[in-house]
Structure 1
């Protein structure tokens, strides 16, 4: 299992939201810099997941300065999301050495644009499919796209994606475990690598995902707990 710990940033601070609610923000004990360095000590951490939360809400990349610094603090690949709505923004991140780009809202709503991006950056683009039930949500999880997961996967099956990041919004930050059933269903629907996200609590959750054929999981809230990392090494 490839563990991908998450660092969510608002105004340079390492925070967590509950179910994507910006009014339910909790500061984490480690700074973004400390978190990246800590996660990099575990060989099971294959990548680190960085999200510019205000960038996602404001539809623009706002944390490029600190993300550039984080890149210098680890030898692990970084995957960046939040506010990536233009080729120009992706070029900025590419210029500072970011390895993978997580595209959300525009990639959901504008397949022609996604096709252009993947042609330019093949196998470096993850699409964030954030859903309540089977409905994909956009704009920082605030709006229903009126596109279902099943319909969307059909549209992107032929693109050179790095993978699909599936988040069950209702599970995110709730410490109830991921949506195992739907994660497996999505994995069975597509040839793309599926990354589980939202609700992973412990090693047992990771082992259950792995038994279902899911080999990558983003760990958010739990990754900030020392208890999670006990026995991981």
Structure 2
């Protein structure tokens, strides 16, 4: 079974989920962020916990550092953080707080030379957040779509010392309709770094389909809040 990384998305220190990245679809989850970290840390299949600062992604700066420090301290697994990470100072602060990995999205996609430099300064610590609508890259908390394709983006980052790539198909995110297995598999075949699937994962069957395509891990959002998901593994 591929690695499972449950997602905890944060707005105003609350555990929420969005559908297709639309902030107007915000839905509160049943557990607080701390309760969610405790629950996921008890699952033996979980190898990492995925935290996203949604306001940080939108406002281009961290908004939940105090809460994330509490979650890092409480987690029984390595934690990765994304949302609003656009400077080396922020990278250092999060790593000093104990974050295991950091996800660089818009800043790295628009300034690949900067991401290459940062990845060499912090080898094996930075993940590329490759969010897309189909194969077109999305930016700024998914509010903008670029003409660049995900495959072109990988080429531009040649030489980076990344920990991996997280591919999110926005059209699948939060819909519980299954991941984009075909596109994620194509990306895994094209990438020199491990590729993680994000968006739409519902069950162990989805995880097995991704694994067959060479995908190394999956981020699970809404489904991870259900008992049915864990029973399906």
User: Which TM bucket (shorter chain)?
Assistant: over 0.9
**1:93-129 deviation digits (Å, cap 9, x = unpaired):** 1111111000000000001210121011101100111
Unaligned segments of structure 1, at least 5 residues: none
Verify the 8 A CA contact 1:157 1:192 in the aligned structure 2: no
Partner of 1:196: 197
2:186 aligned with 1:185:
yes
Map 1:1-233; keep pairs closer than 5 Å.
1-232=2-233
Runs of 4+ in 1 over 6 A off after TM superposition: none
SS in 2 for 1:72: helix
Equivalent residues, number: 232
Q: For residues 215 and 229 of structure 1, what CA distance do their matches in structure 2 show? A: 19
Offset, 1:44: 1.2
**1:42-90 deviation digits (Å, cap 9, x = unpaired):** 1211100000000000000000001000011122110000000111111
Verify the 8 A CA contact 1:109 1:145 in the aligned structure 2: no
Task: Report the TM-score when normalising by structure 1.
Answer: 0.97
Q: For residues 63 and 52 of structure 2, what CA distance do their matches in structure 1 show? A: 10
Verify the 8 A CA contact 1:127 1:165 in the aligned structure 2: yes
Offset, 1:147: 1.3
Task: Report the TM-score when normalising by structure 2.
Answer: 0.97
Offset, 1:231: 4.6
Q: For residues 232 and 200 of structure 2, what CA distance do their matches in structure 1 show? A: 19
SS in 1 for 2:74: coil
Unaligned segments of structure 2, at least 5 residues: none
- Tell me: CA distance 1:157–1:44, structure 2 relative to 1, closer, same or farther (3 Å): farther
SS in 2 for 1:184: helix
Verify the 8 A CA contact 1:5 1:47 in the aligned structure 2: yes
